[in-house]
Amino acid sequence: MEQEEIKRALGELLSSQRLAVLATHDEGRPYANLVAFAATDDLRTILFATPRTTRKYANLVADPRAAVLVDNRSNEEADFHRAMAATATGPAREVAPSDRRPWLELYLKKHPHLEDFVRSPTCACMELSVERYVLVNRFQQVTELHLS
Amino acid sequence: MSPLLMNLSELEEKDRGRVGGKGFALALLARQKIAVPDTVCVLAEAYDEYLDRTGLRERILLELNRKDFKDMRWEEIWDASLRIRNLFLTHPLPPDVARPMADDLQARFGSRPVVARSSAPEEDSAGASFAGLHESYVNVRGTESILKHVRLVWASLWSDAALLYRQELGLEAARSSMAVVIPELVAGEKAGVLFTRTPSDPSCLALEAVWGLNQGLVDGAVEPDRWIVHRESLEILSHRPAARDNQAAPAEDGARLEPLPEDRRSRPPLAADEVTEIARTALRWESVQGVPQDMEWTFRQGKPVFLQARPVTTSRGSSDDQRGWYLSLRRSFENLQALRKKIEEDHIPSMIREARELAAKDLASLSDEELAREIRERATVNERWVSVYWADFIPFAHGIRLFGQLYNDALQPEDPYEFMGLLEASPLESLERNRSLESLASMIRSDSSIASRIRQGRFTEAGPSFQAALDDFVARFGDLSCPVTGGVQCTQGQPALMTILLEMAEHPPRRRGASKDRRVLEDRFLQAFHEGRRREEAGQVLELARVSYRLRDDDNIHLGRIEAQTLAAVHEGRRRLKRRGLQRMEETTPEEVARALENPDYLPAASPISEIPAGVSSRPSATKARQLVGQPGGPGLARGRARVIADHARLKDFKHGEILVCDAVDPNMTFVAPLAAGVVERRGGMLIHGAIIAREYGLPCVTGVPRVTELVATGDEITVDGYLGIVTVERTVGGGGGR
């Protein structure tokens, strides 16, 4: 796939989906969560939110390396040829209070019903700075996109 | 015309679901050449468009699915409804939707007053009478205000009443919708209702009429004249005149009661020919509809205008249904004012007097027979006050809600509980008790010899000034060992009071939470009303709410003092029976104690005791609660050891920095609040005692956590997130970490 084609496919996938699987680890033990996410148009950042009392938050504070899986499967047989999945990897960190405003704007545009949740002082606004995407389509076609 | 509005004349049968039953009935009346007000219908599609565009649909669903509906108490339903209502208040219509609607409404009504009436399609098809579950607003003026009230009518789809009857209504967040009917306000000189068939005699119809607006009659504030008319002959069979002392009249904003002008008092609102005229029109309408009708009408320039018509339906609810009782707790300002007078001038002084009189009696000097009689008398006194508590004190708490709604309507705050800031820092009895407790603790803190004597159990040697302060405390509030305020010596061994005092003295005193600037909030609230009568009334509602807030806590303490006197007599009885050699007297009921006192041969039966031992959890080992969801009851975040209180006697074990986990906190328990780092309660609601005391001390609090006393054990390390309303179990006692 051409780079522009990949970027378009990723952009469509990321904007069409609401939930992603977030992978973290706890001293080597893998851990996965569903999170409501949003992505910037340049695909470089994936946004999600979590209360600071959660395991995923503790895991990321200890080690920010994380992966996020976004896919468009519909739980039908046709998924095998039709569905697309993208895994984004990179460090995920809490957004500083001074950077919260653009974060909130982007995130709430996609998930307006989560306003109370993300505005709570105990909720951390997180962003994963994507270093690499691994895009899987047509069952086993795998393409990587490296963002420097 | 905006695609979201329709005129009555445009409506066809297929539009019934888009305008709801009330809107459609008006269109049909007009088609029968029966006079109706000039009316515009806001279609149900407008509601859907609004929900989708603002994201409110999912927010309502999130709100209603935080916990299983069957686990929600009425108070929690009210809270959910308040929060949903606030979402409607704080989210205006998207401009591209609002503008065409505003243009049409402006062209149609200008500054003429209108009514915004709910017309829910579900209500129409429910087959039962659900009148009054949804709101209507009378005398709304100007397009901006009309559109705001349309949102409030929409919000009332989720009123507490509607949520209680959601099953019968088929109320579902995903599908339910609401149309709004906007008729011009017909401020006729007289108005009324009519049932084309009376339940008692099917050959008659009943007609009720008042002077002024119909609002007065519908609310039950104005007593109507009533006529019974024969359906066939239209002969008036009876007329029952009313007292006729007041009427509802349009006011700046809404309607208000005013004294009836003298010339109207002496004559009925309707003359005989007018009664006949309305009856004839109503029967004509009924014959078109085919079923008995319930109609509202008014008179304009001597001609009747029909405001509403719907089929007469069966009444809702069965006799064992609690919901009617819950809804009866919603009281009007006038009703609450009367209740306040009764409580403040009558109940509370009587309670104080009665407790004092009982306390003055020397129980030790009574004979066994006299003591038995005394126990029974006190039990009766106690029962009487408990019933007063349910009949008057509990409904009075509605004053807080009445104010909350007024505040939110006027200011549309982001936080629907901002209004609580104006009520806090009221002089609560429980806080007064805690202050006295702190001053005893500070005496111990500043003089180590008192502490060491107390630790050795030499209470009486702690010095005259401490002793005097202590005696004074016990006389007012008891020794804290009893589940009621004012009770003493409920547990054996070291008095609870001393244990709590020593624990408090070991740590710096807790400052009460920084109270938000009450003055600023109050000014902002009052400024939101026009100077003069409106502002004065707003101030009165605030004043009422403050009393309501204070009494909500204080009534338990007053009641506790009465109960403590019953307990005292029972204790005296048990002591005597123990001297006779009877065993396990702690478990006998007052009546059994009284019987045994009267009859030396009587062997009292032990009452069954159901008690969850504190600190022993019944949780299954394979599953574990990690994050529990309740409602945010007080903002803040705290982490600490859980102290699960299953029984009042265990409160004395409470340690500084622990988190109080409890089924239901009552004001007789909140003396541990100054030691606590947070509060978690199974019982839900923003206005429950746990939440009130937590906010007073600035403690994080989560309420309404189902089964929390089973899922959390004393010693568990937990985090209380009072912003999000979640409790996280970090580490279980004896178990591994939460991660």
Confidence (pLDDT) at B513: 61
In this predicted structure, what is the pLDDT of residue B334? 84
Q: Does domain B627-731 have CATH number 3.50.30.10?
A: yes
> What are the phi and psi torsion angles at A90 (to 5°)?
155, 180
Q: Is the pLDDT of residue B730 over 50?
A: yes
pLDDT at B178: 92
ipTM: 0.84
Q: Are B716 and B729 in contact (CB under 8 A)?
A: yes
Distance from CA of B722 to the nearest CA of A (A): 9
The torsion of the CA quartet B630, B635, B640, B643, rounded to 10 degrees, works out to: -50
The arrangement of secondary structure in B5-183, i.e. its CATH architecture, is 2-Layer Sandwich (3.30)
Q: How close B417 gets to chain A, by Cα (Å)?
A: 14
User: A113 and B56 in contact by Cβ < 8 A?
Assistant: yes
The tokens for A49 are 């939110």
| Chain B closest-CA separation from residue A1 CA (Å) | 37
pLDDT of residue B246: 87
Cα angle B591, B593, B597 (rounded to 5 degrees) comes to 115
Name all domains of chain A by residue range, CATH numbers in brackets. Answer: 3-146 (2.30.110.10)
Q: What is the mean pLDDT of residues B343-372?
A: 94
Task: Work out the average pLDDT over B631-658.
Answer: 93
- The share of chain B scoring above pLDDT 70, in percent, equals 92
DSSP-based three-state secondary structure for B316: coil
Which chain A residues have a beta carbon less than 8 Å from that of B54?
112
Which among B55, B721, B738 has the least Cβ separation from residue A122? B721
Kindly indicate the confidence band of residue B603, based on its pLDDT and cuts at 50, 70 and 90: confident
Rounded to 5°, the CA angle B204-B209-B213 comes to 145
Residue B58 to residue A58, Cβ atoms within 8 A:
no
- Residues in B touching A56 (Cβ below 8 Å): none
Res. B516: pLDDT tops 90 = no
* Most confident of the ranges B29-33, B446-450, B496-500, B618-622: B29-33
| Domain ranges for chain B | 5-183, 190-311, 333-425+515-598, 429-505, 627-731
Residues from chain B that touch A109, judged by Cβ atoms under 8 A, are: none
Sheet holding B678-681, edge to edge: B627-629, B726-731, B717-721, B637-645, B659-662, B678-681, B701-703, B631-634
Closest residue in A to B720 (Cα–Cα): A53
Give B664's Cβ-side CA count (13 Å radius). Answer: 8
State the nearest Cα–Cα gap between A98 and chain B, in angstroms: 21
> How confident is the model at residue B495, as a pLDDT?
80
Query: Stretch B275-295: mean pLDDT, rounded?
Result: 93
Q: How many CB atoms lie within 10 A of CB B287?
A: 10
The pLDDT value given to residue B455: 87
Buried b (16+ CB within 10 A) or exposed e, B694-705: bbbbbbbbbbbb
The residues, any chain, with a CB within 8 Å of residue B118's CB and separated by 6 or more, are B20, B22, B134, B135, B136, B153, B156, B157, B178, B180, B181
Question: Which pLDDT score, from 0 to 100, does residue B176 have?
Answer: 83
Q: Which residues of A touch B625 (CB under 8 A)?
A: none
Cβ atoms of B110 and B141 closer than 8 Å = no
pLDDT at B125 over 60: no
3-state secondary structure of A120: coil
Based on C-alpha coordinates, what's the Rg of chain B? 30
B166 pLDDT above the threshold of 90: no
User: Which residue out of A56, A122, A123, A125 would a mutagenesis test of the B interface target, given it has the greatest number of B Cβ atoms within 10 Å?
Assistant: A122
Regarding predicted confidence, which is higher, B489 or B386?
Answer: B386
Query: Pick from B58, B723, B728: which is nearest to A120 by CB?
Result: B723
Please report residues of B whose CB lies closer than 8 A to that of A121: 635, 637, 723
Mean pLDDT per 10-residue interval, chain A, length 148 residues: 89 97 97 98 97 96 98 94 96 95 96 93 97 92 88
pLDDT at residue B619 in the model:
53
**What residue of A is the nearest CA neighbor of B414?**
A116
What average pLDDT does this structure show over B540-554?
92
CB contact under 8 A, A120 and B627: no
Q: Give the whole-angstrom CA distance, residue B16 versus residue B44.
A: 10
Cβ of B738 and A120 within 8 Å? no
**Best B60, B716, B717, B739 residue to mutate vs chain A (most A CBs within 10 Å):** B739
Q: Does A16 touch chain B (CB under 8 A)?
A: no
Contact yes or no for A51 and B62 at CB 8 A: no
Q: What is the pLDDT of residues B521-542, one digit of tens each?
A: 899 999 999 888 889 999 999 9
Q: Quick one: pLDDT at residue B738? A: 45
User: Which amino acid does the sequence have at A98?
Assistant: S
C-alpha to C-alpha distance for B514 and B699, rounded to whole angstroms: 11
Does B174 have pLDDT greater than 80? no
Instruction: Band the pLDDT of B196: cuts 50, 70, 90.
Output: very high
The answer to whether the CB atoms of A51 and B59 lie below 8 A apart is no
Q: Please state the rounded mean pLDDT for residues B706-714.
A: 93
Query: What length does chain B have?
Result: 739
Domain B190-311 classification at class level: alpha beta
Q: Tokens 């088929």 correspond to what residue?
A: B170
d(CA A111, CA B55): 8
Tell me the C-alpha distance between A91 and B608, whole Å. Answer: 60
Helical H runs in B159-271? 160-164, 166-169, 215-218, 262-265
Residue-level pLDDT at B481: 84
The one-character DSSP state at A24 is E
Q: Kindly report which listed range (A15-24, B524-533, B578-587, B684-693) carries the lowest average pLDDT score.
A: B578-587
A34 touches chain B (CB under 8 A): no
Query: Mind telling me how many Å the CA of B418 is from chain A's nearest CA?
Result: 15
